[in-house]
A and B are shown apart, each in its own frame.
Chain A
Amino acid sequence: MKNILKYTLIGALLIGFTSCSNEFLDEPVPTGSVSDKVTYTTESGVDAALTGMFAVLRDYRASHDTWGGKAYYLGADVMGTDLMVPGFNWYIFEHRWDVTENSNGRRANWAWELFYSVANISRTHVIGVTSSTLPEDKKKAYISELKAVEAYCYFNLVRYYSGSYLLGDSKPGIPLYTATINSDVKPTGRGTIKETYDRIITQLEEAVPNMSNSLSKYRFNKSVAEGLLARVYLEVGNWAKAAEYAAKAKRGYTLMDTKTYTQGFNTINNDEWMWALPFNASQQPGAPRFFSFIDHNTSGYNDIYVSKDFQALFTSDTDIRKSLIVSTGSTNSTTSFVTEKFRDLADRSGDLVFMRASEMYLIEAEAKAEMNDLPGAKNVLLELLKSRDTAAALSSAATKEALVDEILIERRKELYGELGVSWFDLKRRNQAISRKGEAHRWPVEFEAGNARWNFKIPQAEIDKNPNISEADQN
């Protein structure tokens, strides 16, 4: 009896605790991700893939001064002559040009990583969409949008890491890719600036015809690709194409009136905005958000000021933009002015503008001026300025050079704090920077072509890329 009981118990235990091992091990499955198969089967899957890509562009970060794609532009802005960081606070390394000294620098690494990551994500989705079973026209539209974003990434990279186009397009460019990281692609070498721009322009020109203007404003609509082409052509000095695409891009957008202009540049629902990356209360970054640095009426870092010299350029008292630069009342000449152009929202969810129609007007004007079409340029310029200044009149510039100089100043007055024009324009026109005087706590002087105009290739790239060695460093 005892034995029967013993063996029954043992048997029960053995049966109870043995189970098929494979079933047991197959049960855990991913709970926070989906496979490629699931992603590319439906349009909403592909839309999610594109949204995710823009989310990376919006949020990719290293530290508070390198938080999200907007920081690419803000960093450049404070490297220029108009916006300043007079105290020891975030963006001081940018403002003092320390950021272009070191290949281990945070910004040099972050910007490189951000745009190459987004470029790879774009190529990955192109492959996924190509092999999917979606209708052909939808596929074409997605692929074009993705390729336009990749071109945008290369454009931003070449402007930071290569020299000015005017110094020669046979100079070193940036690595370009056609394969994705999944395919164990071998890292490529720097190539030339010409190769880079050829790639950017070809990719954009091919994409534009297949794109539409029906997407949400955080996506790349056709106008955004056209606007990007305008920027690129301006950069390489192809004035005719720059003017052509600028004129195309601005279609369908209405310039802000003076009332809207002073509402704080914080909402994507703005008829002039072409492309923006928006936030809601739970997605906003908190302390390192853009508005924290530049809006002195909100609690935040509040460390970006407006240079006295720049403020003096706003000569017309009826210019709405002049009213946005306010005096701090400080006796210190380095902290005299701040800007109220950008206003934080109460729930901190302010949206960020990445492209708007005003820029198109200015590109068209500059391009026309360079082509010696002075009346044409002046008319386009006036169209813009009429919305900014009730007393605006046609420009009285006599020569092409004088008009171009005037337009460059207008670009700064219109676009400061948005696209880094203060620095990028000096670089693309291969000019020197001379920022000194009592308005500046941190004077900076570099002649055109100085190595410090270029960010250093990250050390991690040199270490892991057999096609880029120390000799290829800037």
Chain B
Amino acid sequence: MNLHLKNVICVLFFFSFMLNINAQEKKIIGVVSDSAGPLPGVSIVIKGTVKGTETDFDGNYTMNVKTGDVLVYMFLGYAKVEKVVGESSTINVAMKEDANILDEVVVSVAYAAKKKKDIIGAVSVVSAKEVGDLKVTTVTEALQGTSGLSMVNASGQPGASPTIRIRGVGSLQGNVDPLIIVDGAQFAGNLNSINFNDVESYSVLKDADAVSLYGNRGANGVIIIKTKSGVNTNGEGIIEINTSYGFSDKATDDYSYLSAEQIVTTSWQAIRNERLDQGDAAEQAAIFASSNVMTDLAVNPYSINEPVDTNGKIKSNARLLYETNYYDILTQKATRQDVSLVLRGGNEKTRYFVSGAFLDSEGFSLNSKFRRYNGRVNLSSDVKSWLSVGANAFVTISESNVPTQSGSTYANNIQYVRSVSSIYPLYKRNADGSFISDNNGNKQYDFAEQRGFFGNYNPLAETYGSVKLYERNTFNFSPYLTVKFNDKINLKSQFNYTNYLYEGNLFNNHFVGTPKEQVDNRYSTKERNTTKTWNVINTLSYKNTFDEKHTLTGLLGQEMYDNTYNRVSATSTGYAFANLPELDNGVLPTGASSITEKNRLYSFFGRLDYNFDEKYYFGTGVRRDASSIFAKENRWGTFWSVAAGWSIYDEFLKGNGLVNSLKLRASYGTVGNQNINQQFTFLDQNGLGFNILANPGLVPTAIANPDLKWETHNKLNIGVDFAFFNSKVYGSLEYYDNRVTDLLYFDVPAPSTGSEGAGIDGNNESRALGKWRNFGEMSNKGFEFNVNSVNVENDKFRWTSSFAISTNQNRIEDIKQIENRGSFRWEAGRDRYEFYMREWAGVNPTTGAPEWYKDVVDTSGKVTGREKTSTYSEATRYYTGKSALPDFEGRLGTKFEYNGIDLTLNFNYKFGNYIYNTDFSSLMKARNLGEQSSSETLKAWQKEGDITDVPKLTTEADDFNSRSTRWLQRGDFIRLKNISLGYNLNQEMLDKLKIRKLRVYLSADNYWTWKRENNLDDPEQAFNGITDNRSTVLKTLSLGVNISL
């Protein structure tokens, strides 16, 4: 049978060979042109092969082909043309422009939309297509790696928003988040309410030219999110269904901890060393340690009373009865599923986009859930030839169960795992290790009444028994009218209303104490916060082209904005039943509070753009803003920009085969910032609510500065946009220099003046009596480079890649007085994120004590050298030269497409930044015996002569975990943010099934991370590089389907 087959194949092969010989090669020539004339640089390929050529300067080409070959003509920006080689030896081709070329792409910019080639500012565009299969919950996560945009995505709780900084951090104490514009209006709701599938594109505006029209709020950059609009489908619409299902977990491993036995033996050592330091003899110290270790630990997981012998080892007759793995108990395997339906279409006059979506996403901290329902309608219609109307509306309802997932509060399960070691039982046990059952034979939670840290608390009981439910409802309605005077002038009036309601329902179940105490101390809190914003934007725009070469565009606008925040909260205590948390069911209302805050903005703006023959570009913009937070005299700020662009290509290189586009542009301008957390900076305020019993009380909470004004950001940008090799390689290179003057600065003088005011409030916010001032200057400079390339493109196979890299250098140029801020120190001439702290000098090999460096000062006060000291408070603080800001960061992506299969990889990387790891420092020094400890503590100094970087274990406070460079770690990392493999059903099958598109894919997010530092769980922590026991980023593996009908 096999032989038979082989013979058949041989014969066929022979025949085809014969056929080939018969088909003769011949030379053909031709000219390729478009409506304007010959086209140089057009690529011509024989279909199915990689053989080809290009047209020369005059559009001519010659090729060796065979009759019957199919020639494919391709040029970026033009529709592909195929010709079959027939008898003729001349094949001339006429090519037509295809609207989807790069420069013609319409990009959302301030209050307008412009073609990419007409933009002379620094704008990065990310289209929804580029983001692809990334599983995001909050839309801005999709922007990680965009050049000029730095993002830290630090939470494993779905629905948490990442921190974004554009071109560095622009203010010392003002708000440094970029402005988010959704469909033309400022968005004040929660970003996790926007459906990822509704977004068509993101524009990141970075320089003065791009942001000047946002005046007061554009200082930190602007992200414009544009949702999809309806399309003219000539009647029948499009149905799209997207769905995916996946599994999530923590992307990186947690720290490794000591076992229960190791906790007991290291605690013994700590006590023994404490006694030796007190002067006890060795034997005495050992006996004391053996008899006290289990009392100090407040628990005994062993079978005998004193399980540790006087050598510090577990006795052979001592059996470990249990060991509790809190990480496993307090984390969960998480799932993620989403479904969305889109209906889209329209005709010449009316276009619609309707979508509905559902997302259910869990985090890896136990019981963390996020569920969201979205609905959106985007409509637009041409009522008359001179009048268009449109309206975007969306509703989002999300429910989440968010156990606290950062910070050192009791309810943070991650903090719990990092604090409580495995010797502590989850359930009550007898001395023999068996469970103490209740009357129904069930296990009972152990509430650690004896323990001093996290005492009177059981994390599992708390997670399930104390309910924390949050609901967020966002309602947005945004209608607009456009009146066309003629083809040159039109007036657009847009109104935007957003109502964001946040509901918190917390029930704190009190588990400890007598039954009456439990009932009395249960409490329920209901919180209802509403943020209502409305925005009116009126713009008059003008566009005209004179003499074919001069194009003038003008824009005049007026804007009003009102943001009102209202919070109401009430608490009641005394609940007999734990599952009926309504406030009416409580015995005693103990708290009722409400606050209202309102701020308003009023602005005028205008812009003028001119270009000559699309070769020389000039643009200028002005905005005048007033804010209600400043005194009347200082309310208004004027901000402006000028920019110019020069298409070097059109000047010198037109028709060049190598270069397709080369444009130089520069911009300079000013933008303002007024975003601070004080509502009325020009008023002295005495805050109410400081009551004693039924007597009302007030306390000074704010000091006025009627001279306070806008912080001004002066931005310079120089950029080059390029495209080479038939636009197969294109990108841009930018240099920016931003200088902030009149820095908004909260001046808090020495505490003896009374500057701490009323201290911290119920939300741990400071009520310091500082004065807001404009004092100081800061600069941010850097480079951005991004390049995209089409490496291989032929009929069957396409390989593209992209690369982006950004740098940022921050410097405080001037500041009123040196400010020590924890791990940082703000001083003129330095980077605001440079770590400043004591320098670790190692462990003294003789004593085992930790040591830091201290300057040696001579009698005149001059520093002559340094020495080591084991007294922490005497050690000197130094600038470390290490910053939380990276040297460079960016993204690397690549995509392969072959025959309907696509494989995409996207990496993010960051190098040069440092992280101050307080999580690890806490794990290396148990302040309380029995606290969770890192297995690194086994390296502790034991005897004279030992060289190690872990000092001798002791119960005493030795400042080992106090702030020093010992805990400063390198934050370098590379992360495979997304890898996705997809398959698109081919045209034949699609036609058979009568569907437009079907794609199946497997996508893995954050599945591989390389980090330089081992003693760090996840390299994405916070912008300032300081850890906080966060539940960090998730990795998700999902399977999805996209169908279009």
Contacts and interface: CB of A to CB of B under 8 A. Distances in A.
Interface of A: 2, 6, 9-10, 13-14, 17-19, 21-22, 24-36, 39, 45, 47-56, 58-62, 87-90, 92-93, 96, 98, 101-104, 109, 112-114, 116-121, 123-124, 174-175, 177, 180-182, 184-185, 187-188, 216, 218, 277-283, 298-303, 332, 346-348, 441, 443, 456, 458-461, 463-465, 468
Contacts of B686: 33-36, 39, 49, 52
B590 interface: yes
A18 B556 CA distance: 14
Question: Could you say which of A109, A277, A463 has the most chain B C-beta atoms within 10 Å of its C-beta?
Answer: A463
Contacts of B873: 101-104, 456
Given A9-B387, A27-B600, A33 B820 contact: no
B452 A89 contact: yes
A299 B513 contact: yes
A52 B690 contact: yes
Given A21-B602, A48-B688, A96-B957, 12 more contacts: A2-B386, A17-B560, A22-B632, A27-B598, A28-B598, A56-B699, A98-B957, A177-B754, A187-B752, A218-B695, A282-B590, A283-B693
A6 B483 contact: yes
Contacts of B927: 88
Nearest to A9: B483
B674 to A, nearest CB: 12
19 contacts: A17-B560, A26-B632, A29-B680, A31-B595, A33-B702, A35-B685, A48-B696, A51-B696, A53-B699, A59-B759, A89-B452, A117-B757, A182-B684, A185-B749, A187-B749, A277-B692, A279-B693, A347-B573, A443-B278
A54 to B, nearest CB: 6
B699 A121 contact: yes
A316 B598 CA distance: 66
B172 interface: no
Given A22-B632, A34-B686, A188-B752, A17 B598 contact: no
Nearest to B566: A31
Nearest to B483: A10
A18 B538 CA distance: 9
B331 to A, nearest CB: 26
B215 to A, nearest CB: 14
A85 to B, nearest CB: 9
Contact of A459 (B292, B453, B820): B820
A28 B520 contact: no
Contacts of B790: none
Contacts of B292: 441
Contact of B628 (A25, A51, A52): A25
B485 interface: yes
A52 B699 contact: yes
Contacts of B538: 13-14, 17
Question: Could you say which of A24, A33, A104, A300 has the most chain B C-beta atoms within 10 Å of its C-beta?
Answer: A33
A35 B685 CA distance: 5
A458 B754 CA distance: 14
A216 to B, nearest CB: 7
B296 interface: yes
B684 A52 contact: no
Given A19-B560, A177-B753, A299-B517, A283 B483 contact: no
B872 interface: yes
A277 B517 CA distance: 24
B491 A13 contact: yes
Nearest to B928: A88
A56 B684 contact: no
A465 B752 contact: yes
B697 interface: yes
B558 A301 contact: no
Contacts of B928: 88-89
Nearest to A25: B628
Nearest to A47: B695
B1041 interface: no
A106 to B, nearest CB: 12
Interface of B: 278, 292, 295-296, 298, 384, 386-387, 449-450, 452-453, 455-456, 481, 483, 485, 491, 493, 510, 512-514, 516-517, 520-521, 536, 538, 558, 560, 571, 573, 588-591, 595-600, 602, 626-628, 632, 635, 679-680, 683-703, 748-760, 769, 771, 817-818, 820, 872-873, 927-930, 956-957, 959, 962-963
A216 B687 contact: no
Nearest to A216: B695
A28 B679 contact: yes
A62 to B, nearest CB: 8
When A and B form their complex, which 10 residue pairs have the shortest distance between CB atoms, in order from nearest?
Answer: A120-B754, A89-B452, A299-B513, A52-B697, A51-B697, A88-B928, A282-B590, A33-B685, A52-B690, A55-B690
Nearest to B627: A25
Contact of A28 (B558, B628, B632): B628
A51 B626 contact: no
Given A9-B483, A24-B560, A280 B698 contact: no
A211 to B, nearest CB: 19
Contacts of A121: 699-700, 754
Contacts of B485: 6
Contacts of B748: 464
Contacts of B769: 120, 181
Contacts of B757: 117
Nearest to B518: A299
B679 A56 contact: no
A188 B749 CA distance: 12
Given A88-B453, A299-B513, A303-B452, A460 B930 contact: no
Contacts of B298: 87-88
Nearest to A113: B756
Nearest to B696: A48
Nearest to B957: A98
Contact of B759 (A22, A31, A114, A464): A114
Contacts of B700: 121, 124
Given A18-B558, A120-B769, A281-B573, A51 B751 contact: no
A109 B766 CA distance: 14
B737 to A, nearest CB: 31
A83 to B, nearest CB: 16
A460 B750 contact: yes
Given A36-B684, A36-B686, A121-B699, A25 B626 contact: yes
A9 B749 CA distance: 57
Contacts of B632: 22, 26
Contacts of A120: 753-755, 769
Given A24-B600, A48-B697, A32 B687 contact: yes
Nearest to A14: B538
A301 B455 contact: yes
Contacts of A298: 513, 517
A13 B493 contact: yes
B759 A56 contact: yes
Question: Could you say which of B298, B493, B956 has the most chain A C-beta atoms within 10 Å of its C-beta?
Answer: B493
Contacts of B595: 31-32
B698 A52 contact: yes
Contacts of B820: 459-460, 463
A389 B632 CA distance: 70
A16 B701 CA distance: 39
A180 B538 CA distance: 48
Contacts of B521: 299, 348
A465 B750 contact: yes
A39 B698 contact: yes
A110 B164 CA distance: 34
Contacts of A218: 692-693, 695
A35 B700 CA distance: 9
Nearest to A436: B278
